[in-house]
Structure 1
Amino acid sequence: MGDLATERLVLHPMTVGEAEAVVAGAPGDGARWAPGYPDDGDVLAAGRFLDTCAATGDPHPFGNYEIRLREDGRAVGGVGFHGPPDETGGVTVGYGLVSSARGRGYASEALRELLRLARARGAARVRGDADLDNLASHHVMTAAGMRPVGHDTRVRYFEIAWE
């Protein structure tokens, strides 16, 4: 699977070698990382991706993507699916950016592209969530077209569905 390009970003499908580098915290050959990349969320997602690859093989297109700036190729975060569509066609997404890349609309831009991909690959709905006090993440999901569908004492849930 090839890269997904948006106006300002490249969503690069993570490989096993790249995920291993993220978990180790050491960029591989030719990798360009923004300061602060990878953060704890990136390391967690890369580890989950490696576990999935070991158990069932490469999950792409429903895997993890490194968010890179088109202008210089630096990795500034990640976006991806928590797994393939379930029996009802639903998938769950997650995303994150290093602090220096926040506040520029990159997360919403990356998420919109991931939603487009999910729909094109047959997903019926995409879910996401964020802590109740994480208003920036709430804005990311609504800006990408997702809508709040509920909450509990800790988390607000978002979803977009297609017929």
Structure 2
Amino acid sequence: MTLSSSPVLLTRITPAMARRIVARDEEPGDDWHPDYPFVDELDPLEALAASESSASPFTMCAIREPATRLAVGGLGFFGPPDASGTVEFGYGLIPAARGRGLASAAVTLALAHAQHWGARRAVADTETDNGASRRVLQKAGLHETGRRGTLVLFARDLL
């Protein structure tokens, strides 16, 4: 699975690739930025590495710069939509890739993908002190729905 728009490219991370990323065992064509993955992405990558391959469209993807195809971040769904049609996602970029619109483009592209595959609502959260992430979610049409501790909760209907 590859999703693309002019500013960003999303490529599926398989369990085998997740194992290589965690082990830092890059093969030709993997094309990871030297700072990828970032610390916050290691737990989801380890979980994916321990799983079986799946054809589910609700998985983890590498966020890549189209010109270089370098992986500079990740975006992942926390499983398929629940009974209400809600899907949760998270994302992040290495510091060198921030501030260029890649995260906003990746989230927008991923939400269109989720809608195509039947999700009716998307939710995400971010830390209260992460203004850049809040702006990314807002640019993608998500609205603040509440706060829980140090988290700001966001949601958007996809219908």
- TM-score normalised according to structure 1 size: 0.92
1:96 aligned to which of 87, 92, 98: 92
| Residue 12 (structure 2) pairs with residue 13 (structure 1) | yes
Q: What does residue 40 of structure 1 align with? A: 39
Q: How does 1:62-81 map to 2 (within 5 A)?
A: 62-81=58-77
Structure 2 residue matching 1:33: 3-state secondary structure: coil
Stretch moving more, 23-32 or 63-72 = 23-32
Aligned length: 159
Code of the residue aligned with 1:88 in structure 2: it is: S
Q: Percent identity?
A: 34
| Cα distance between partner residues in 1 of 2:66 and 2:54 | 25
Contact kept? 1:81, 1:93, Cα under 8 Å: yes
Structure 2 residue matching 1:22: 3-state secondary structure: helix
- TM-score normalised according to structure 2 size: 0.94
1:116 deviates by: 0.3
Structure 1 residue matching 2:104: 3-state secondary structure: helix
Q: Which runs of no fewer than 5 residues in structure 1 stay unpaired? A: none
Q: How does 1:1-163 map to 2 (within 5 A)?
A: 2-51=1-50, 53-54=51-52, 57-58=53-54, 60-163=56-159
Contact kept? 1:59, 1:83, Cα under 8 Å: no
Structure 2 residue matching 1:42: 3-state secondary structure: helix
1:46 deviates by: 1.2
1:9 deviates by: 1.6
| Cα distance between partner residues in 1 of 2:100 and 2:157 | 26
Structure 2 residue matching 1:49: 3-state secondary structure: helix
Over the residues paired in the alignment, what is the CA RMSD in angstroms?
A: 1.3
| Cα distance between partner residues in 2 of 1:124 and 1:59 | 20
Q: Which runs of no fewer than 5 residues in structure 2 stay unpaired? A: none
Code of the residue aligned with 1:3 in structure 2: it is: T
Structure 2 residue matching 1:93: 3-state secondary structure: strand
Structure 2 residue matching 1:122: 3-state secondary structure: coil
